[in-house]
């Protein structure tokens, strides 16, 4: 805090020195301007003297010279004009320097007032900072009841932030105090955990006793299961023999069914061929119909030609020739139809024979299926007996499974309880040590702070 005060005073002193240096620099500038003005005045006086002397010399020369030439008079006028212009320029420069001097004087007066205001502002800021540091003196000693004064000067925002930080620190210390209460509650929970550990140990002993009884019951049940399994083995052997015979008969049935399937496939092929032949027959019939139509037309044309030709029988001859050709085509088509009809008949006969064979095979298959049914009936009877035995075995197995599950569950519970007991013991020891350490740290951390509630109790 003392270091802060020293730093603040050093900054204010530095600022005052900078203002004084600037003021001195402006004074030096004003003095330099005054010297320049004096030099200008001296220069103007010197030029005036020279002008006077030059004018006297010119007058004397004019008096001595008899010619009074025009060139000499012009030279004298030019010399005077130069002197006048030089004097005018010097006067203008003098006026500019006077104006600049006036501006510098005004700035000097403004800087003096600004420096006074700055010094006054620095003094007020220094007083505000010292006041804030004095108010915060108790805070460094752990007193959280202090409250910084929030003013309109430079330290107002700082004081507001400090008050906010003090309030947060109060909340933190209060939270730490509440945590101490929570630690006490945690110690109580630790005692409860210890009691639960004792109860768990007792429960573990009881479950171990129950597990031993369950194991004995499971052994008795396993003996009963072994006896029933022996009877099941004999029945299973007979079932295997009967099932083997039934499998053979079923295999024969399957073979017969395969033969039937082959014949049916062959029959379907031949029927397909019959369908294709029928399609060709349809095409040929359509062709015959076409030929018949054309024949009728040609016959009509021939009749017309015959009635109208007279000697022009040549046209009729052509028509007759065409009719003959159509007749030949019709005959050829008729032969093809006959051939196809024969083929269809042959295929039909073969299909009939094949279907008869299929029927015979189906009859044989039915016999085999009947025998297979008898074998299956025997298998069903044996399976019924097996089902009864298996049901009994299943019941016993279910009991064994249930007992085994109980044993497994009991063992798992024993292991879990044992693990929980061990873990709880370790956690309890660590928790007690940590609680002790935290209690000490908390007491040490909040021992140096004083809250508003504590200040009221002291009052």
HEC profile for 4-58?
HHHHHHHHHHHHHHHHHHHHHHHHHHHHHHHHHHHHHHHHHHHHHHHHHHHHHHH
Highest mean pLDDT among 28-37, 61-70, 195-204: 195-204
Residue 168 has pLDDT above 70, yes or no: yes
Contacts of 201 (CB under 8 A, 6+ apart): 417, 421
Residue 161 has pLDDT above 70, yes or no: yes
Better-scored residue on pLDDT, 51 or 127: 127
Whose structure tokens read 């299961």?
A: 225
Better-scored residue on pLDDT, 49 or 452: 452
Region 105-116: mean pLDDT is 63
Contacts of 238 (CB under 8 A, 6+ apart): 382
Looking at residue 310, its pLDDT comes to 62
Mind listing the pLDDT tens digit for each residue in 384-410? 676 677 667 766 666 766 776 676 677
Better-scored residue on pLDDT, 192 or 104: 192
**What DSSP state is assigned to residue 68?**
-
Whole-Å CA distances, 399 to 109, 386, 453: 115, 20, 71
Report residue 200 CA to chain centroid gap.
Answer: 47
Residue 66 has pLDDT above 60, yes or no: no
Rounded to whole angstroms, the Cα distance separating 289 from 300 reads: 17
Classify residue 253 by burial, with Cβ atoms within 10 Å: 0-12, 13-18, 19+: buried
Mind listing the pLDDT tens digit for each residue in 244-298? 676 677 667 767 666 776 776 677 677 667 757 666 776 776 677 677 667 767 7
Contact at 8 Å (CB) between 51 and 154? Answer: no
Residue 27 has pLDDT above 60, yes or no: no
Highest mean pLDDT among 165-169, 235-239, 317-321, 399-403: 165-169
Handedness of CA 294, 300, 306, 312 (dihedral sign): negative
Handedness of CA 435, 436, 439, 444 (dihedral sign): negative
Better-scored residue on pLDDT, 72 or 293: 293
Rounded to whole angstroms, the Cα distance separating 9 from 130 reads: 10
Contact at 8 Å (CB) between 190 and 432? Answer: yes
- Phi first, then psi, for residue 417 (nearest 5°) are -65, -40
Whole-Å CA distances, 22 to 17, 110, 112: 9, 12, 10
Residue 451 has pLDDT above 50, yes or no: yes
Mean pLDDT for the chain? Answer: 64
Looking at residue 409, its pLDDT comes to 72
Looking at residue 38, its pLDDT comes to 56
Whole-Å CA distances, 119 to 6, 17, 116, 128, 179: 17, 11, 5, 14, 52
- Phi first, then psi, for residue 67 (nearest 5°) are -75, -30
Region 186-201: mean pLDDT is 66
Looking at residue 159, its pLDDT comes to 73
Angle CA(455)–CA(456)–CA(459) in degrees, nearest 5? 90
Tell me the chain's radius of gyration from C-alpha atoms: 69
Q: State the pLDDT confidence band at 456, using cuts at 50, 70 and 90.
A: low
Better-scored residue on pLDDT, 80 or 230: 230
Rounded to whole angstroms, the Cα distance separating 239 from 378 reads: 9
Rounded to whole angstroms, the Cα distance separating 338 from 345 reads: 11
Residue 440 has pLDDT above 60, yes or no: yes
Longest dimension (CA), the chain: 184
Rounded to whole angstroms, the Cα distance separating 71 from 107 reads: 54
Looking at residue 33, its pLDDT comes to 56
Better-scored residue on pLDDT, 82 or 218: 218
Looking at residue 459, its pLDDT comes to 44
Whose structure tokens read 């030099």?
A: 39
Better-scored residue on pLDDT, 262 or 373: 262
Residue 58 has pLDDT above 50, yes or no: no
**What DSSP state is assigned to residue 66?**
S
Region 410-424: mean pLDDT is 69
**What DSSP state is assigned to residue 217?**
H
């Amino acid at each position: 805090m003392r270091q802060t005060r020293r730093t603040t005073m050093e900054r204010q002193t530095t600022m005052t020195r900078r203002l004084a240096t600037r003021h001195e620099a402006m004074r030096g500038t004003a003095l330099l301007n005054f010297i320049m003005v004096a030099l200008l005045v001296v220069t103007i006086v010197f030029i005036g003297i020279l002008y006077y002397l030059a004018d006297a010399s010119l007058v004397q020369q004019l008096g001595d010279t008899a010619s009074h030439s025009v060139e000499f008079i012009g030279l004298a006028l030019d010399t005077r004009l130069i002197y006048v212009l030089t004097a005018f320029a010097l006067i203008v420069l003098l006026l500019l320097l006077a104006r600049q001097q006036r501006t510098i004087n005004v700035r000097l007066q403004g800087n003096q007032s600004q420096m006074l205001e700055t010094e006054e502002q620095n003094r007020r800021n220094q007083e505000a900072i010292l006041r804030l540091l004095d108010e915060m003196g108790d805070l460094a000693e752990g007193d959280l009841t202090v409250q910084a004064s929030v003013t309109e000067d430079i330290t107002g925002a700082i004081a507001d932030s400090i008050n906010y930080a003090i309030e947060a620190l109060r909340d933190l210390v209060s939270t730490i105090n509440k945590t101490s209460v929570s630690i006490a509650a945690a110690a109580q929970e630790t005692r409860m955990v210890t009691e639960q550990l004792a109860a768990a140990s007792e429960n573990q002993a009881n479950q171990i006793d129950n597990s031993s009884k369950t194991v004995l019951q499971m052994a008795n049940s396993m003996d009963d299961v072994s006896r029933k399994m022996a009877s099941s083995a004999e029945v299973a052997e007979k079932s295997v023999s009967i099932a083997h015979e039934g499998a053979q008969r079923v295999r024969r049935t399957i073979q017969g069914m395969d033969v039937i399937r082959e014949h049916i496939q062959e029959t379907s092929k031949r029927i397909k061929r019959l369908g294709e032949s029928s399609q060709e027959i349809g095409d040929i019939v359509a062709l015959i119909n076409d030929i018949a139509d054309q024949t009728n037309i040609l016959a009509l044309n021939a009749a017309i030609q015959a009635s109208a030709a007279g000697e022009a029988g040549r046209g009729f001859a052509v028509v007759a020739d065409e009719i003959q050709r159509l007749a030949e085509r019709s005959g050829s088509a008729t032969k093809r139809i006959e051939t196809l009809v024969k083929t269809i008949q042959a295929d039909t006969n073969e299909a009939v024979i094949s279907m008869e064979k299929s029927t015979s095979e189906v009859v044989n298959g039915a016999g085999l299926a009947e025998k297979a049914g008898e074998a299956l009936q025997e298998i069903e009877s044996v399976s019924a007996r097996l089902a009864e035995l298996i049901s009994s075995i299943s019941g016993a197995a279910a009991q064994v499974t249930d007992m085994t599950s109980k044993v497994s569950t009991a063992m798992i519970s024993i292991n879990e309880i044992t693990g929980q007991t061990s873990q709880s013991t370790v956690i309890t020891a660590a928790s007690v040590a940590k609680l002790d350490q935290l209690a000490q740290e908390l007491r040490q951390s909040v021992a140096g702070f004083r809250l508003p509630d504590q200040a009221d109790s002291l009052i």
